[in-house]
Amino acid sequence: MSVRLDVPVLAGDVVRLEPLTVRHAPDLAEAVEEDRSSYDFTLVPRADEIPDYVAAQLARDGLTPFAQVRLADGKAVGCTGLWDPRGWPDRPGLRAIEIGFTWLAASAQGTGINAEAKLLLLSYAFDVLGVTRVDLKTDARNHRCRRALERLGIPFEGVLRAWSMSWARGEEGKVRDSAMFAVVAGEWPAVEPVLRTRLAAAISRSRAVRKAENDLA
């Protein structure tokens, strides 16, 4: 099912998910050149690649891309998207969708933005789109991402061998094993409060760090 969803801006307490446009490019070019040590297995362009990256995301079949805008300063600090929508074989509507193509600037990691973006997208998928399943997957070697998903309460389903194209640099044209995570509709009422608790803790830690930095300044 190839479709771009008409999703409005999704706003939370620390992040606003805006439909990706070229106007986000300058902020994203700055964001990608922060510490890149967490990007080994993720599709994250360099600054000079951002215009082509944005154009490719907007043209990618089946992807509804968003800029992750940090509310503290209004800057776009990463991207994410709703991807691979699957419909019912015998009736209108979506059966399942994936959250993917996600990355964040180093300065935005650990601040609650990732948790809240997942919360906003999962809420929209289940409560508005009415899907029965939301997938999330990552390179099986990306243990940092896998731990983050597990901490958010997203159930791990297993590893599918040679499942996806690799985004690791130097592995163009190769396939990877994918660690599969998913939330199904019946689990969402239990997963949502875990996400909200994780979000609140991350925001509290981030504010404490900022306060300590300001006190030392």
pTM exceeds 0.85, yes or no: yes
pLDDT at 13: 94
Q: Please state the rounded mean pLDDT for residues 213-217.
A: 64
Single out the residue of 87, 104, 103, 105 nearest to residue 95, CA to CA.
Answer: 87
Average pLDDT over residues 138-163: 94
In this prediction, residue 3 has a pLDDT band, given cuts at 50, 70 and 90, of low
> pLDDT of 46-84, one tens digit each?
999 999 999 999 999 999 999 999 999 999 999 999 999
Phi, psi (rounded to 5 degrees) for 47 = -55, -45
The superfamily (CATH) of domain 10-216 is Gcn5-related N-acetyltransferase (GNAT) (3.40.630.30)
Domains of the chain, residue spans:
10-216
- Read off the pLDDT of residues 98-138 as tens digits, 9 standing for 90 and up: 999 999 999 999 899 999 999 999 999 999 999 999 999 99
